[in-house]
Amino acid sequence: MIDLIIRPREHDIGGLIVRRVLPFRERRSVGPFVFFDHFGPAVFPAGEGLDVRPHPHIGLATITYLYDGVIQHRDSLGNDQPIRPGEVNWMTAGRGIVHSERTPEDERARDSGIFGLQAWAALPVAEAEAEPSFVHFPASDLPEWAADGFRIRLIAGKLLGHESPVKTFSELFYADLRLAPGGSFVLPPDHAERAVHNAEGRVTVGGETLTQGEMAVLRPGSDTPLEADPGGEAKVILLGGAALDGARTIWWNFVSHSAERIQQAKDDWKNGRFAPVPGDAEFIPLPD
């Protein structure tokens, strides 16, 4: 049932451990998802927090999903929106957008936790230059359902007859599955490409046990049973969708099917041709 188990690479970014799962040398994408980071759980001491300065994106949509903490999103369209656990901030970069991600000032007044995931979905080639946009949905707007041993919140896409209100440009599913201690769930083979990420706890996928931060990429065409360890709840992300319509290159924060388009984005950022984030003069320079 499992094609590959991905064990993430860890990076320390200013005291916050980030586990990078995708892209992986043996698996560059799952459905449209070309990038997947797992950060925390961690605690920022009072006076400290996350400070990701304004930076650009093209050719993708970003989704940040939190289990703990608050992140303030600001972008070049003028959006200024906190994201809290269970909510959706879906940002479509398209032809180009700039945003920052920071811990809000009121959270910095005390010790504050942070625990979540960030994923990028590559846009289809035909939509790669779409107008940039941003939408926010509270957790109460997302489909949720439960049965004995599990409950699911559908973050984006379609799964098991449910559909998220988040507009996407490609066929995908992205869901928050909570398994009770010893609880089980069967993921159907409805999508061509599928993966299971263990965000917290221990979960057995098709007979293989995943520890925290690991992702199992599934073989197509069969039901896949998931089961939590009897000793505790498991937090699991289900993701995937239709295969990408061709290879993608990721360079820094840019995703494209075209090397020339990435070079243009580099030149545009270096020469100040991206729109700024209102009220934030800082920025991350183009890497060497």
The conformation of residue 141, written as its DSSP 8-state character, comes to: G
The predicted model scores a pTM of 0.96
Taking 70 as the pLDDT cut, the residues of the chain under it are: 14-15
Q: What confidence tens digit (pLDDT) does each residue in 220-269 have?
A: 999 999 999 999 999 999 999 999 999 999 999 999 999 999 999 999 99
Report, in this order, helix, strand and coil percent for the chain, each rounded to 5: 10, 50, 40
- Measured CA to CA in angstroms, residue 68 lies from 65, 83, 111, 112, 282 at distances of 9, 10, 13, 9, 26
Tokens linked to 272: 């100040």
Tokens linked to 16: 């916050």
Q: Is there a contact between 277 and 75 (Cβ–Cβ < 8 Å)?
A: yes
The predicted structure's pLDDT at residue 113? 96
Cα gap 135→131, rounded to integer Å? 13
Q: Is there a contact between 51 and 102 (Cβ–Cβ < 8 Å)?
A: yes
The predicted structure's pLDDT at residue 14? 57
Give 82: exposed, middle or buried? Use CB within 10 Å, 0-12, 13-18, 19+: middle
Tokens 């940002």 map to which residue?
91
Backbone angles phi, psi at 269, to 5 degrees: -70, -45
Question: Of 267, 260, 21, 22, nearest to 128 (Cα)?
Answer: 260
Q: Is it true that the peptide bond before 54 is cis, omega within 30 degrees of 0?
A: no
| Type of residue at 27 | R
Q: Which residues pair with 98 in a beta bridge?
A: 56
Question: Of 41, 49, 93, 44, nearest to 66 (Cα)?
Answer: 41
Tokens 């379609």 map to which residue?
158
The predicted structure's pLDDT at residue 78? 98
- H or E stretch at 28: none
The predicted structure's pLDDT at residue 274? 98
Question: Of 173, 193, 192, nearest to 239 (Cα)?
Answer: 173
The predicted structure's pLDDT at residue 176? 98
